Structure 1
Amino acid sequence: MTDGEKRGQNVRKLRPRLSVGFILARRFTLCAFANFVDVLRLSADEGDRSRPILCGWRVLSATMEPIVSSSGIAVHPEERLGDPTLFDYLVVVGGLIDEIPNLSPEYTHYLQRAAAAGVPLVGVCTGAFILHRAGLLNGYRCCVSWFHHADFLEQFDGLRPVSDQIFIVDRDRLTCSGGASSAHLAAWLVDRHVGRAQARKSLHIMIIDDALRAEKPQPGIPLDLTTDDPLVKKALLLMQQTIDTPLSVAETAHRLGVSRRRLERHFQQAVGMAPTLACKIMRLEHAEFLLCQCDQSVTEIAAATGFCDSSHFVRAFRERCGMTPAAFRRTHTSVGA
């Protein structure tokens, strides 16, 4: 009898309201895992005493060897793979794309056994890739980070990932883009199984204003700029990294080691527009996100998205959205202007 099966016999009658088993891929994303666990931890007890009373969580392993994250920090598993029905959910935390094929077949078989038993499966970060490789996302919608959208399309046929939401719940499959969104998915589970007050408490202690709904957009590169062109992808990432101080097309091309003409040609072929327009769209979509998610003034948001002054920002925003930033904020959120 495995450790997990023994534990199941001993505590089955004392199970918390929400019990989660974690499977960590090699080079998993530490922040996505930590955010998910901390929401459970802070929801499980009064204050931040961390006793697993209302929520329980365990890191599972086929070998019990330490699992090294993408940052180099290792996590020690707590029990071997056993009976998956001991858990309300099994959460697969992915990380670096190149490590996904290296996951032991024992985990794949365990997840398939869990699915057959009706245990809901959760894919965090590139955990969705792992679930799909195991044949467990066929017929389901799944959420993938905008950063990995093109990678998913390249590796898998027959499934269109969603990259404009922070997480998706489709029956007994739950997926999220990773990072901070894993805290919001965990809070959704706590809200459902433990209570809304506990979910909100955990997020507030973590200095997260409040739970975001699944359909909230991911901050990142707009989907209409998604491309497989390596040069354009690098340029878009550079634009995002300098969104508050936009580079000229010439400077962007210089940093990428190509001519301006070549960069403009690749953009036209890949996304049907010039680099300047692509950068402007990215900045305005980020402004939409800020208007909905924070209480910064229009002037502050203009500066944060690289506009020289608020009047220029308002004109550009109205041209794209058909309304002023203040009107957009009133229409899309309760945050005051």
Structure 2
Amino acid sequence: MHRIGFLLSEGFQIMTLAPQSVFEHANLTAGQDFYKLENFSPEGGEVRSSLHIPVGTRALRGRIDIDTWIVAGVNDPLIEPPPPKILTFLRKAAPRARRIAGICTGAFVLAAAGLLAQRRATTHWFYGREMQKRFPDIRVEEDRIYIVDGPIWTSAGMTAGLDLALAMVEKDLGADIARSVAHKLVMHQRRAGGQSQHSEMLDLAPKSDRIQNALNYARQNLHGSLTVEELAERVHLSPRQFSRVFTLETGQSPAKAIEGLRLEAARLMIEQSRHPLEVIARETGFRDRRHLREAFMRGFGIPPQAVRREARGEQRLA
């Protein structure tokens, strides 16, 4: 049995509890109670969440045998510092635990306890730069879904905690069970840790159904040419009118937006598959491997080979 302790403090983010469903369904899928979950807080008893919902907890007293600690974040770590008792406890618990994770701004708690020194870590993108400023000995990668550095795991905000939990399930019980859990929870896919916290489609945020439909069509047909004329015809606008409306609504030209969608899809394929770069380039609409590399250098500042090496390195560390 693998014991997981969720470490909560007053005002903890309610979304921190969402990953508990991942472990619950992992037990159901595996047909055994592999995971045992329990909530903890410094003094025990009821602890209120960010929505003022009371949650029962066990006190951090006596003998506590936990394999994985998951530390909750708060809505604003800059004005809600972690209780000293939690920091003291984590410093003592770290050598005994198999792994310790900070979900979202829970990374600030790990940082304050000194557990992230000289390590790679991530947190909610809104607080990434502040974390780097406050803790210069941490290599903060603010545009990552989650990061595994030895026994220390950190995730981005909100739903990224589900991805982190699924990665733990995959490590403990295998990829087949992790995929089954993701399917049961109606998760589109298990995102790789190196994937960006931002979605190109969300960043574009068009205001009209016409432009949204054009983007949906583009995402489903990235292997094609996707010219302005083709997209305009799809939504019954002239090429000139389409370009003007598209730029007005998204702040980007159609060509730049389409390249962003291609890059997002290509990066995901590089991280999660073993397809050769030539195949990935073709499937995502780049002319060839060289064109793919040029786009990656413009968009990410690194070549696609570096993204693949990083993804494989995270899998080995996990």
Please give the TM-score of this superposition, normalised by the length of structure 2. Answer: 0.65
Distance 1:160 1:53, change over 3 A: same
Question: What does 1:142-157 correspond to in 2, within 5 Å?
Answer: 142-157=121-136
Distance 1:309 1:336, change over 3 A: farther
1:107 Cα deviation from its structure 2 partner:
1.6
Return the letter of the residue paired with 1:37.
Q
Quick check: 2:128–2:142 contact (8 Å CA) kept in 1?
yes
Question: In the alignment, which residue of structure 1 is the partner of 2:171?
Answer: 192
1:328 Cα deviation from its structure 2 partner:
7.1
Question: In the alignment, which residue of structure 2 is the partner of 1:249?
Answer: none
Question: In the alignment, which residue of structure 2 is the partner of 1:224?
Answer: none
1:245 Cα deviation from its structure 2 partner:
3.8
1:35 Cα deviation from its structure 2 partner:
2.4
Distance 1:315 1:26, change over 3 A: same
Distance 1:306 1:30, change over 3 A: farther
Question: Are 1:70 and 2:50 matched, yes or no?
Answer: yes
1:63 partner SS: coil
Give, in whole Å, the separation in 1 of the partners of 2:263 and 2:169: 34
1:165 Cα deviation from its structure 2 partner:
0.9
Give, in whole Å, the separation in 1 of the partners of 2:261 and 2:115: 42
Give, in whole Å, the separation in 1 of the partners of 2:66 and 2:41: 15
Question: In the alignment, which residue of structure 1 is the partner of 2:25?
Answer: 42
Distance 1:315 1:168, change over 3 A: same
Question: In the alignment, which residue of structure 2 is the partner of 1:202?
Answer: 181
Question: Are 1:137 and 2:116 matched, yes or no?
Answer: yes
Question: Are 1:20 and 2:12 matched, yes or no?
Answer: no
Question: Are 1:54 and 2:34 matched, yes or no?
Answer: yes
Question: What does 1:1-337 correspond to in 2, within 5 Å?
Answer: 16=1, 18-31=2-15, 33-46=16-29, 53-78=33-58, 80-84=60-64, 86-96=65-75, 97-98=77-78, 100-101=80-81, 103-219=82-198, 243-245=205-207, 295=220, 307=247, 313-317=253-257, 321=259, 329=265, 333=269
1:295 Cα deviation from its structure 2 partner:
4.5
Identity fraction in percent: 20
1:308 Cα deviation from its structure 2 partner:
6.0
1:62 Cα deviation from its structure 2 partner:
2.4
Cα deviation code 1:138-197 (max 9, x no counterpart) = 111111121111321343332231111100000011000131111111011111112322
2:45 partner SS: coil
- The aligned length equals 247
1:168 partner SS: strand
Distance 1:187 1:64, change over 3 A: same
Please give the TM-score of this superposition, normalised by the length of structure 1. Answer: 0.62
1:68 Cα deviation from its structure 2 partner:
1.6
